[in-house]
Amino acid sequence: MGVGNGLKERLARRAAQEVEENTVVNLGIGIPSLVPDYLPGGFPVLFQSENGIIGIGEAPGKGREDPALCNAGGYPVTMVKGGAFTDSAVAFAMIRRGLIDLTILGSLQVSGKGDLANWIIPGKKVPGMGGATELAACARRVIVVMTHTDKFGGPKILGECTLPLTARECVSMIITDQAVFRFENGEMVLKEIFKPFTIEDIRSSTEAEFSVDPHMLFVEG
């Protein structure tokens, strides 16, 4: 079962709350690419893309797409005032040099230690890992946005990832359709639950061990 538009918007809106002023942010394809739509106009942040754009704006309105301007996933984007273009070599040099303050990525699995597995499904034809390996290893903060369970209802937050790893112990935060976790001192901590889910629901759909923040919030979905 695919991710509905309402759920995509909710996850992107919640992820947008983690974007800080005056930072450089890289967005993965899919839901993360919607994040700029949920920031106020003129918000001082630079969105960077592996294909050489620095200064991505909100998605263009229908019929206003520029066929020569797209993000790394091939989707049309706009540019903010002062934005710039580079080649891919410079774009990846920025990433590898550690100049990305935050990357927001989708994922297939995350382990309870913060390991990330987001680039291949065994037996399926996929385009490859893209820039995820460099981003996961070098960005100062890595936030994962994904559904809490897979299409069969199985957990995607596991004790150990069963898919090939993109990077080890790199994830700092997970935002799902059910809950928000942060990794603090090597421990996964439940920070928020989206109503109508309960702590019992989260425990039953999460294989990895986690603690519950004493100030955990129940948030309207």
pLDDT at position 137, please? 94
Which CATH number belongs to the domain containing residue 67 in this structure?
3.40.1080.10
* pLDDT at res. 87: 94
pLDDT of the chain along its 221 residues, tens only?
Answer: 456 668 999 999 999 999 999 999 999 988 998 998 899 988 999 999 999 999 998 889 999 999 999 988 888 999 998 899 999 999 999 999 999 999 999 999 999 999 999 987 667 755 566 678 999 999 999 999 999 999 999 999 999 999 989 999 999 999 999 999 999 999 999 999 999 999 999 999 999 999 999 999 999 97
pLDDT, residue 130, reads 65
CA–CA separation, 192 and 108 (whole Å): 21
Q: Known catalytic residues?
A: 50
Residue 127 is predicted with a pLDDT of: 58
Do residues 70 and 27 lie in contact, with contact meaning Cβ atoms separated by under 8 Å?
no
Q: Give dist(CA 203, CA 181) in Å, integer.
A: 12
Range of the domain at 70: 5-219
**pLDDT in the model for residue 73:** 81
Structure tokens at 70: 């797209």
d(CA 81, CA 201): 45
Measure the CA–CA gap between 21 and 24, rounded to whole angstroms: 9
Count of domains observed in the chain: 1
